[in-house]
Amino acid sequence: MSIISDVIESTKAIIQGMSVTLSYIPKQKWTVQYPEEPVTVQPRYRGQHLLHVDELGREKCVACFLCAAACPSECIYIIAKDDPRLPEDRIGVDERYAEVYNIDYGRCIFCGYCVEACPKDAITHGYNFELSVYNRADLLKTKDDLLITKQVQSRNYRVASSTEDVDSEYKEV
């Protein structure tokens, strides 16, 4: 008798567990056919970093190293250089600029501390999400890769409005 009652209890438990599992399967498919349909990202999405320039095309970064100091994964590498030329002939907005500005995306955790630490608003997060590469060395992005005037952005995306609920895990379908 106990074997039969054990089998019945086990069957009830399996059916109860499977009913919970099956209740979470959505009725409609949420899959986005990415290359054909644009991906919708949130306004606060943290993509690949952008190094900004001022209205005259000069780099805003003054190589203060605050972004590198704030980075918990130590993925930012900067070499500063002084530019003694006249202000209108300089590369950056101040006498000092970043000769080398590298970010290793193999180590970056996209936390945003570097953006918050920058006193000149020289670095921000863009919406570029296509960062996959075949070689680890290609994850090291140089200043030329990060400058907003030279960076190639992902082509097929749109930014959601702040009131729009997008791709929520708990969205009712």
Instruction: Render pLDDT for 6-25 as a digit per residue (tens, 0 to 9).
Output: 999 999 999 999 988 888 77
Residue 161 has pLDDT above 50, yes or no: yes
- 39-41 vs 157-159, strand pairing mode: parallel
Give the CATH number for residue 53.
3.30.70.3270
Q: Which segments of 60-150 are extended strands (E)? A: 76-82, 96-104, 123-125, 140-141
Residue 68 has pLDDT above 60, yes or no: yes
Q: Is residue 30 part of a domain?
A: no
pLDDT digits (tens, 9 = 90+) for 22-44: 887 766 767 778 778 888 888 88
Q: Is residue 70 part of a domain?
A: yes
Residue 52 has pLDDT above 50, yes or no: yes
Q: Is residue 151 part of a domain?
A: yes
Q: What is the dihedral sign for C-alpha 109, 135, 122, 46?
A: negative
What distances in angstroms separate CA 40 from CA 23, 128, 165, one per listed residue?
A: 26, 12, 10
Q: How far apart are CA 148 and CA 62, in angstroms?
A: 16
Average pLDDT over residues 132-152: 90
**What pTM was estimated for this model as a whole?**
0.74
Q: How far apart are CA 84 and CA 64, in angstroms?
A: 17
Q: Which domain covers residue 102, as residue numbers?
A: 39-159
Q: Is residue 10 part of a domain?
A: no
Q: How far apart are CA 34 and CA 70, in angstroms?
A: 34
Range of 31-45, 53-67, 81-95, 145-159 with top mean pLDDT: 53-67
Q: How far apart are CA 33 and CA 36, in angstroms?
A: 6
Q: How many folded domains does the chain comprise?
A: 1
Average pLDDT over residues 146-154: 83
Q: How far apart are CA 9 and CA 15, in angstroms?
A: 10
Q: How far apart are CA 126 and CA 51, in angstroms?
A: 10
